Amino acid sequence: MKILAIGKNYVSNKEEISGNKTGNQIIFSKPESSLVRDNKDVVYPSFTNQLNYEIELVIKIGKKGKDISLEDAASYISEIGVGIDYTAKDVFNACRETKGPWDLGKGFDGAAPISNFKPVSNFPKLDDINFRLVINGEEKQVGNTSLMIYTFSDIISFTSKYMTLEPGDLIFTGTPAAGTGEIHKGDHLQGYVEGELLLDFKMI
């Protein structure tokens, strides 16, 4: 099972999309051990003093594919959910300073809490899906897929040139351009997709 993620994939308004769509997608991966399922509480990692959150829609791959065309890419999505891409920012920055990989800052245990998934058929317009993050009752991030630089299809087609996508693979598709920030012990996170609460857990 692969867990892939795309960085810097949202803009604040649609007019910014074309200028940012250079073809150079930022793709990274997380290990399966980073997942937290079933709305279980997430343990705040002991090795960081700066844990940052990003809410993201997560697509699940439903069939095997390699070199997938842009036109066929959407048919490879079986389900959609929501998750948090956590970054241990201090660890992440230290890795970047030495030009090393991001794994320790992005792939630690608990770095990817995810919701249960909904069938893709529940979402007739993949380019118009609303999602948001609420922390301690306060709305922190609001997103809509119309503001993606690279669409679900763009991401699938691009990544499948480099690696075979297989059933069950997950792809975190990017966070809204505004609202990311730091999380603390005791914080209560709730992720909504089209108004439905799917992700609901606390940091402990």
Q: How confident is the model at residue 101 (pLDDT cuts 50, 70, 90)?
A: confident
Per-residue pLDDT, 198 = 98
**pLDDT per residue as tens digits for the range 55-91:** 999 999 999 999 999 999 999 999 999 999 999 999 9
pLDDT for position 165? 98
Contact partners, residue 15, CB within 8 Å, separation at least 6: none
For range 83-107, the mean pLDDT = 92
pLDDT of residue 64: 98
From 65-79, 96-110, 127-141, the region with the lowest mean pLDDT: 96-110
Is pLDDT at 99 greater than 90 in this prediction?
Answer: no
How many CB atoms within 10 Å of residue 33?
13
pLDDT at 65: 98
Structure-token pair, residue 118: 């909904």
**Between 59 and 101, residue with greater pLDDT:** 59
170, 37 in Cβ contact below 8 A?
no
pTM of the complete model: 0.97
Rounded to an integer, the average pLDDT of 182-188 is: 98
Range from 30-44, 92-106, 139-153 carrying the lowest mean pLDDT? 92-106
CB distance 80 to 59 below 8 Å:
yes
Residue 73: the pLDDT is 98
Q: What secondary structure letter does DSSP report for 167?
A: T
Which pLDDT score is estimated for 102?
85
pLDDT, residue 96, reads: 85
- Could you tell me whether strands 170-172 and 26-30 are parallel, antiparallel, or unpaired per DSSP bridges? unpaired
Residue 130: name the closest of 86, 179, 194 by CA: 194
Which amino acid does the sequence have at 85? D
